[in-house]
Amino acid sequence: MLLWTTEEIILYMTFEQLLDESARIHGHLCPGQVLGVKMSMLGLRQIGIADPKGKDRKNIIVFVEMDRCATDAVQSVTGCSLGHRTMKFMDYGKMAATFLNLRTGKAVRVIAKEESRQTAKEYFPDIENKYTAQLEAYKIMQDKDLFDVMEVAVSVSPEDMPGRPIGRIKCDVCGEYVQDMREVVKGGRMLCRPCATKGYYTTPECDII
């Protein structure tokens, strides 16, 4: 018979509640959601953030390195978002996130272990669908079997901090305004990045640069 301490029951219920909320926002439950929730819980504990959506909401920034399901889970648990400038998307393609306590400066990077995929199959060898096996295994696997944690140093520039824009500059080519020092000086002109280089879209004006 599995016996739980009072503290373990509270922690388990908290995890289940966070997972339910994450799945509701994301639209479905998947292994990435489980990893994202547990990754966030671990990261927050490591940097001393107990109430990310309440009293600690102005003390946290999260850097996510993947645009996958886990990112929605990180946003759900931490309350951080691109719109609030408290979530930064680093397009590294890695299942990892860095959690920064702005008040103390403490930061940790949490990385999902690649071998946890195989370990998950060992937990539920009778489940043929590997994603279902991962989903169920990740729920009960210990953090040390799921993640590596490294202490890191993170410096956030003033123009990347939450709050009102530091400034706005008009692009000399397209006429659109650029906020937060994202402009580029090229040939003596102030340009937005798509006009200065190649953006994800092109216009006839950009083609003549």
> Domain 168-207 is of which CATH architecture?
2-Layer Sandwich (3.30)
Q: Where in the chain is the domain with CATH 3.30.1330.130?
A: 6-157
pLDDT digits (tens, 9 = 90+) for 36-90: 999 999 999 999 998 899 889 999 999 999 999 999 999 999 999 999 999 999 9
pTM: 0.87
CATH number of 6-157: 3.30.1330.130
**Which three-class secondary structure string do you get for the chain?**
CCCCCHHHHHHHHHHHHHHHHHHHHHCCCCHHHHHHHHHHHHHHHHHCCCCCCCCCCCCEEEEECCCCHHHHHHHHHHCCCCCCCCEEECCCCCCEEEEEECCCCCEEEEEECCCHHHHHHHHCCCCCCHHHHHHHHHHHCCHHHHEEEEEECCCCCHHHCCCCCCCEEECCCCCCEEECCCCEEECCEEECHHHHCCCCCCCHHHHCC
pLDDT digits (tens, 9 = 90+) for 173-209: 999 999 999 999 999 999 999 988 888 887 766 555 5
For the segment 131-160, the average pLDDT, to the nearest whole number, is 93
pLDDT of residue 147: 96
Q: Where in the chain is the domain with CATH 3.30.60?
A: 168-207
pLDDT for residue 4 is more than 50: yes
